Amino acid sequence: MVFLFISLQKKEMIDTVKNRRTIRKYQQKDISCNLLNDLLETSFRASTMGGMQLYSVVVTRDAEKKAQLSPAHFNQPMVKGAPVVLTFCADFNRFSKWCKERDAEPSYNNLMSFLNAAMDTLLVAQTFCTLAEEAGLGICYLGTTTYNPQMIIDALGLPELVFPITTVTVGYPAEEPKQVDRLPMEGLIHEEEYHDYSTEDINKLYAYKESLDENKEFIKENGKETLAQVFTDVRYTKKDNEFMSENLMKVLGRQGFI
């Protein structure tokens, strides 16, 4: 009699991504330097414009530093609550310094270079996040980074040609939230050409989102009539967008990118 056990227990990475959720509450447990550095070093293998690696990552573990960063992120509790806060910065400073040391004249003080560096930075940030989740950690992106860039620049001492693009809080999960909804993929993919959306398309694409109890609750809480109004009138308003756009230009100028 022969028993043949084949264990094909390979956990597929794609399943980790399929099941992912943003984690905002973390265990009181440090992330070891070894693990963090391995994840970061690996993420630096992400594609980069011309091999230039136009980014820097500032690692915050110190409680005082977190307290300094916290208001820039509207005091969202993840900043003080996570063992590690990572500020991913577009960085043309290092590359430009290298040029100057090698009889070359850098000219990366412009919008195109900012965008190139921002892209490099985001590819690294997202590679890090995917790897971190695969390693059992939870992450949260803080979109507030570009709303209050000057506060972050001051807190972290970022020189000219360095600009904070996004912040990720990381830690071992202390919650397992419900997975949030996504639009049906046919609404996000266009075959060969962009197919603009008719009223009917929009109704179909947003039907599930609008049907969710939590979103109906969200409308009530905010005293609005539609979910879209919560976005336009409360969360991402004209006034805020215009103020932050102006501020962004100002700080990009101060950091030497415009």
Piece of 24-32, 72-80, 170-178, 235-243 that binds a copy of itself (CB under 8 A):
235-243
Provide the 3-class DSSP secondary structure of residue 150: helix
- 80, with CB counted inside 10 A (0-12, 13-18, 19+), is middle
Piece of 24-32, 73-81, 169-177, 234-242 that binds a copy of itself (CB under 8 A):
234-242
Residue closer to a copy of itself, measured from CB, 76 or 229:
229
Q: Is the torsion defined by CA of 127, 131, 133, 139 positive or negative?
A: negative
Residue closer to a copy of itself, measured from CB, 10 or 28:
10
Interaction residues for a copy of itself, span 4-43 (CB under 8 A): 4-11, 13-14, 16-18, 20, 22, 37-43
Interaction residues for a copy of itself, span 122-141 (CB under 8 A): 122-123, 125-127, 129-131, 134-135, 139-141
Interaction residues for a copy of itself, span 40-69 (CB under 8 A): 40-47, 49-53, 55-62, 65
Which of 30, 71, 175, 183 touches a copy of itself (CB under 8 A)?
A: 183
Residue closer to a copy of itself, measured from CB, 77 or 143:
143
Give the Cα separation of 134 and 177 in Å (integer). Answer: 17
Which of 136, 177, 208, 236 touches a copy of itself (CB under 8 A)?
A: 236
DSSP 8-state class, residue 138? E
If binding is defined by CB under 8 A, does position 221 make contact with a copy of itself? no
- Please name the helix (run of DSSP H) or strand (run of DSSP E) that holds residue 111, with its range, or none: helix 111-134
Give the Cα separation of 79 and 67 in Å (integer). Answer: 8
- Please name the helix (run of DSSP H) or strand (run of DSSP E) that holds residue 39, with its range, or none: helix 33-43
Contact map string, positions 76 to 95, toward a copy of itself, x by CB under 8 A = -------------x---xxx
Alpha-carbon dihedral of residues 181, 27, 43, 143, nearest 10 degrees? Answer: 50
